[in-house]
Amino acid sequence: MKPAPFAYHDPRTLPEAIGLLALENAKLLAGGQSLVPMLNMRFAAPDHVIDLNRVAGLAGIKRTSGAIEIGAMTRQCDLEISAEMAGALPIFGAALKFVGHFQTRSRGTIGGSLCHLDPSAELPALCLLMDAEFTVAGAAGERIVAAMDWFQGFMQPAAGPGEILTAIRIKPWKAAHAYGFCEFSRRHGDFAIAGAAALLALGPQDRISQAAIAVFGVEVSPRRLPEAEKMLTGAEAGQASFRAAASAVDTLGAMEDAIVSAGYRRKIGAVMVQRALEMAHKRAKAGVV
Amino acid sequence: MSEKRRIELIVNGKRYAGEVEPRVHLGDFLRQNVGLTGTHLGCEHGVCGACTVIAGGAAVRSCLMLAVQADGATIQTVEGLATEAGMHPLQKAFHERHALQCGFCTPGMLMSLAAYLSQNPLADEAGIRTAISGNLCRCTGYQAIVEAALDVVAAGRGGR
């Protein structure tokens, strides 16, 4: 199918783009790897498409004091090959291999993924795992939204209709730590049925000193497992504690569709959490990030 | 409300200018306005990979990029693979390995592999399989396609 007609705007500056959002039934276009299919299938039929691709200053990866700042229009392929990301946040490189295919990562952006907010998307889950901060710009100026507050429901980011996500700020953990990431889909590149991301910092005697877990694809948006993280902190790393942590997925309000039942989604989610923790543990013991 | 825009782009080394509605994607523009029907359109929602072209050096789905977004861009389509000196090494290998039957997926396979091998000239089988995991073929079972790509790597022609 072909998109319904729309008026196309390609502003060069952020204030210009924000101004255009006053138009009725306007939609922002980032990398287009979700919106353009929706236009083609007429699931979305905006009257105005505001293309962010020519807006100056929205892309790039910067290392600032203690944090990495990623422009919202940074392409997924650029995150994949970035030395800053590989050094400070290697979990992104591991997860990006599962984001679509290299032919879509060449256009797809981190900001687009965060605003489209597919429940099984990897990048929003990683931002939640890392307690990222989102800079959102509107006519009234900028505001910062914490990752915890970003997810307002099914495909509902906290950005208002007149606002644009401009940057993502992530603080890597200070303590030595390692990541684990895994997801399950029936074919490579498909939307995952469920997946999990974890960070672990180990103290003496294999005791966990810090833990973070995010599970995605199970509920309508990615979610952290705070009780499991608390339970793991101070516990000995290993099968028993990881299995107990993964059981937190059993009580989540999982999505259900014609192919995947809620119970199956929870089961896969729990297995993913356990595997992500095992992977993080193995990497931590080997001394790799 | 959907006013036409004038765009100019370079396709396979030649400059094209045209007037286009913003809702027309690059794949349709290449086929209908430029007249290059080698780029095939299958699903038009980014799943089948048949429409893959190389834009500014990167493999992209031409059904997921608006033609107006390609204003000023440099595009390579399957028609741009062969030169006067002959077929691209991938095209030759596809021919020799019988890596196509109906041929519908072939332009997308070739453009995906051309982009991938130019950046990974020493690619292995696993890498090649991942690279074409976003290109659907309903005839070959992929085996011959993978073998063709491996032939190109073995001949040291991945970079061309």
pLDDT digits (tens, 9 = 90+) for A12-63: 999 999 999 999 999 999 999 999 999 999 999 999 999 999 999 999 999 9
What are residue A285's phi and psi, to 5 degrees? -70, -35
How far apart (Å, rounded) are the C-alpha atoms in residues B76 and A141?
41
Mean predicted confidence (pLDDT) in A106-110 = 98
- Chain B residues whose CB is inside 8 A of the A49 CB are 22
List the domains of chain B with CATH numbers.
5-79 (3.10.20.30), 89-154 (1.10.150.120)
How far apart (Å, rounded) are the C-alpha atoms in residues A30 and A115?
9
How far apart (Å, rounded) are the C-alpha atoms in residues A12 and A14?
7
Rg of chain A over Cα atoms, rounded to whole angstroms, equals 19
- Collapsing DSSP to helix, strand or coil, A87 comes out as helix
Instruction: Provide the CATH number for the domain formed by A178-286 in this structure.
Output: 3.30.390.50
- Report which residue type is found at B123: A
Residue B88 Cα, gap to closest chain A Cα (Å): 20
The answer to whether the CB of A197 falls within 8 A of the CB of A95 is yes
Chain region(s) in chain A for CATH 3.30.390.50 = 178-286
- The fraction of chain A above a pLDDT of 70, given in percent, is 100
Q: Is the pLDDT assigned to residue B54 strictly greater than 90?
A: yes
How far apart (Å, rounded) are the C-alpha atoms in residues B107 and A28?
31
With an 8 Å Cβ cutoff, is A7 touching chain B?
Answer: yes
Shortest CA distance from B115: residue in chain A: A103
The verdict on a CB contact (< 8 Å) between B5 and A33 is no
* CA B138 to each of CA B48, B50, B108, B110, B143: distance values in angstroms, whole numbers, following the listed order: 10, 12, 13, 16, 12
How far apart (Å, rounded) are the C-alpha atoms in residues A212 and B51?
40
Q: Is the pLDDT assigned to residue A234 strictly greater than 70?
A: yes
Specify the length of chain A in residues.
289
The verdict on a CB contact (< 8 Å) between A107 and B61 is yes
Q: What is the ipTM of this complex?
A: 0.96
Token pair for B134: 């976003």
- Chain A residues whose CB is inside 8 A of the B46 CB are 33, 36-37, 100, 104
The verdict on a CB contact (< 8 Å) between A6 and B1 is yes
With an 8 Å Cβ cutoff, is A220 touching chain B?
Answer: no
With an 8 Å Cβ cutoff, is A146 touching chain B?
Answer: no
* Helix B106-119 and helix B89-97, axial crossing angle in degrees, nearest 10: 130
The answer to whether the CB of A32 falls within 8 A of the CB of B64 is yes
**Of A138 and A1, more confident:** A138
Instruction: Please report the pLDDT score of residue B1 as a whole number.
Output: 53
Of A2, A4, A101, nearest to B133 by CB-CB distance is: A101
What's the mean per-residue pLDDT of chain A? 97
How far apart (Å, rounded) are the C-alpha atoms in residues A95 and A284?
18
Q: Is the pLDDT assigned to residue A96 strictly greater than 90?
A: yes
The answer to whether the CB of A124 falls within 8 A of the CB of A222 is yes
Instruction: Please report the pLDDT score of residue A287 as a whole number.
Output: 82
Residue A80 Cα, gap to closest chain B Cα (Å): 14
Q: Is the pLDDT assigned to residue A289 strictly greater than 80?
A: no
Q: Is the pLDDT assigned to residue B87 strictly greater than 90?
A: yes
pLDDT in tens, A146-172: 999 999 999 999 999 999 999 999 999
How far apart (Å, rounded) are the C-alpha atoms in residues B156 and B123?
10
pLDDT in tens, A258-281: 999 999 999 999 999 999 999 999
Scan for tokens 């309000």, then name that residue.
A253
| Cα angle for residues A10, A12, A15 (degrees, 5° grid) | 105
How far apart (Å, rounded) are the C-alpha atoms in residues B132 and B145?
9
Q: Is the pLDDT assigned to residue B160 strictly greater than 70?
A: no
pLDDT in tens, A118-132: 999 999 999 999 999
How far apart (Å, rounded) are the C-alpha atoms in residues A130 and A84?
16
Of A5, A10, A32, nearest to B2 by CB-CB distance is: A5
CA nearest A50: which of B69, B30, B20, B75?
B69
Residue A103 Cα, gap to closest chain B Cα (Å): 5
With an 8 Å Cβ cutoff, is A4 touching chain B?
Answer: yes
Token pair for A252: 């989540």
On the CB side of B98, CA atoms within 13 Å amount to 4
The pTM is what? 0.96
pLDDT in tens, A171-197: 999 999 999 999 999 988 789 999 999
Chain region(s) in chain A for CATH 3.30.465.10 = 1-49+59-172
The verdict on a CB contact (< 8 Å) between A36 and B63 is yes
Residue B105 Cα, gap to closest chain A Cα (Å): 15
With an 8 Å Cβ cutoff, is A37 touching chain B?
Answer: yes
With an 8 Å Cβ cutoff, is A186 touching chain B?
Answer: no
The verdict on a CB contact (< 8 Å) between B22 and A8 is yes
Mean predicted confidence (pLDDT) in A84-94 = 97
The verdict on a CB contact (< 8 Å) between A1 and B2 is no
CA nearest A96: which of A86, A105, A84, A87?
A105
With an 8 Å Cβ cutoff, is B51 touching chain A?
Answer: no
Instruction: Provide the CATH number for the domain formed by A1-49+59-172 in this structure.
Output: 3.30.465.10
- Chain B residues whose CB is inside 8 A of the A53 CB are 69
Question: Count H helices, E strands: chain A?
Answer: 12, 12
Other C-beta atoms closer than 10 Å to the C-beta of A226 total 12
How far apart (Å, rounded) are the C-alpha atoms in residues A276 and A283?
11
